[in-house]
Amino acid sequence: MAYPMQLGFQDATSPIMEELLHFHDHTLMIVFLISSLVLYVISLMLTTKLTHTSTMDAQEVETIWTILPAVILILIALPSLRILYMMDEINNPSLTVKTMGHQWYWSYEYTDYEDLSFDSYMIPTSELKPGELRLLEVDNRVVLPMEMTIRMLVSSEDVLHSWAVPSLGLKTDAIPGRLNQTTLMSTRPGLYYGQCSEICGSNHSFMPIVLELVPLNYFEKWSASML
Ligand SMILES: [Cu+2]
């Protein structure tokens, strides 16, 4: 999860989020280079005496400053498209979980099991135990096996919501009457926090998402205890 005074993203938990972090750093590097060049040129313009005011055209430099930005844009667009298509890929998922957004909580259904579904409400601040996180803790966590491809189906019962977990690089709109799909894969066990990311009403800030990624045998024990 995020920590106080954090700069940048949360640590990556999935391969997709690692790709996104690399892409972010790559793009930011280009932004820094362009900004430095522009600052340098501005400082030159302000400090240099322009002695060649009769110069009417400069074909060579115009060719360069037209083509160079186009090349830079391609260098950003290609890796961006690569990640976009990677995120769309459904890699033969071993488990499917459906989540529905409600005003204001999430409900989860493990559709591979006959009767495994629950609602996930935020724990109010007054009922928090020491060490628990305010506005992030829920009564029923989503327990999932780690290192396995999981298909998330996301929809909504009432208004627009958005199911988001930053450290997994996930953000999927929950739209009434429409079933959206994403895949999720965690490379390590742990607790991953997210929040609804669509302004959905007065309690929008109070419908957090908590994923508990555990080894497969723990997941099996949990699912057996839930049935
Ligand atoms: Cu919402």
User: Could you tell me the distance, in angstroms and rounded to a whole number, from the CA of residue 218 to the centre of ligand 1?
Assistant: 30
Distance 38 CA to ligand 1 centre (A): 42
Q: Where are the domains of the chain?
A: 15-88, 95-226
Ligand 1 centroid – CA 67 distance (Å) = 44
Distance CA 203, CA 162 (A): 14
Amino acid at 11: D
Secondary structure letter of residue 205 according to DSSP: G
Provide the CATH topology of domain 15-88. Helix Hairpins (1.10.287)
How many Å lie between the centroid of ligand 1 and the Cα of residue 42? 46
First vs last Cα of the chain: how many Å apart? 30
Check for a shared fold between 15-88 and 95-226: no
Nearest Cα residue to 165 out of 131, 135, 209, 133? 209
* Cα-to-centroid distance, 221 and ligand 1 (Å): 31
pLDDT tens track of the chain, all 227 residues? Answer: 888 899 999 999 999 999 999 999 999 999 999 999 999 999 998 998 777 767 777 888 899 999 999 999 999 999 999 999 999 988 899 999 999 999 999 999 999 998 999 999 999 999 999 999 999 999 999 999 999 999 999 999 999 999 999 999 999 999 999 999 999 999 999 999 999 999 999 999 999 999 999 999 999 999 999 88
- Gap from CA of 198 to ligand 1 centroid (Å): 6
215 C-alpha to center of ligand 1: Å? 29
Residue 169 CA to ligand 1 center (angstroms) comes to 18
d(CA 5, CA 152): 31
Please state the φ and ψ torsions of residue 60, each to the nearest 5 degrees. Answer: -60, -50
The number of helix segments (H) and strand segments (E) in the chain equals 3, 10
Give the CATH H-level superfamily of domain 95-226: Cupredoxins -  blue copper proteins (2.60.40.420)
Spacing, Cα 49 to ligand 1 middle (Å): 59
